[in-house]
Amino acid sequence: MRLLLDTHIWLWSLVAPEHLSPRVAEALGDPSNELWLSPISIWETLVLAGKKRIALPGDPGEWVRLALSRTPFKEAALNIEVALQSEAMLAAAHSDPADGFIAATAIVYDLTLVTADKCLIESRQWSVLPN
């Protein structure tokens, strides 16, 4: 399976794996699955750290670089098609632009979105592995 991790799933997998459902934890640990991450999740993590909504040890940018070096993620690059598709996703993603970009990324790259976000799960416009 090709899994696109929503920002909170990526963070939980690194710092709070107890928040992952057994099904999601198993899927993330299965070496036959590809793990994908959007640059939007990196941006969102840095914004949340800057606003003190999450605590990362040391410099947030360095923490992200170290986290990325320890886990083999494929980058789901932000491209023109993702940007075009994201606008259509805003209604389904409760007007959160980051969620709109992540949902659009799942569609454009044909990835299964791993999320605990109820709005994203209930939309069913893309393949979802709910937490």
CA-CA distance, 104 to 125, in Å (whole number)?
10
**pLDDT mean over 68-76:** 92
Mean pLDDT, residues 36-50? 96
Looking at residue 34, its pLDDT comes to 97
Topology of domain 2-130 in CATH is Rossmann fold (3.40.50)
How confident is the model over 41-63, as a mean pLDDT? Answer: 95
Tens digit of each residue's pLDDT (9 = 90 or more) over 75-125? 999 999 999 988 877 766 556 889 889 999 999 999 999 999 888 887 766
- Domain locations in the chain as residue ranges: 2-130
For residue 55, give the 3-state DSSP assignment: coil
User: Is the CB of residue 34 less than 8 Å from the CB of residue 72?
Assistant: no
pLDDT, residue 131, reads 81
Query: ∠81-88-110 over CA atoms, to 5°?
Result: 50
Q: What is the value of pTM for the model shown?
A: 0.91
Q: Are strands 2-5 and 128-130 parallel, antiparallel or unpaired?
A: unpaired
Q: Strand 112-115 vs strand 73-75: parallel, antiparallel, or unpaired?
A: unpaired
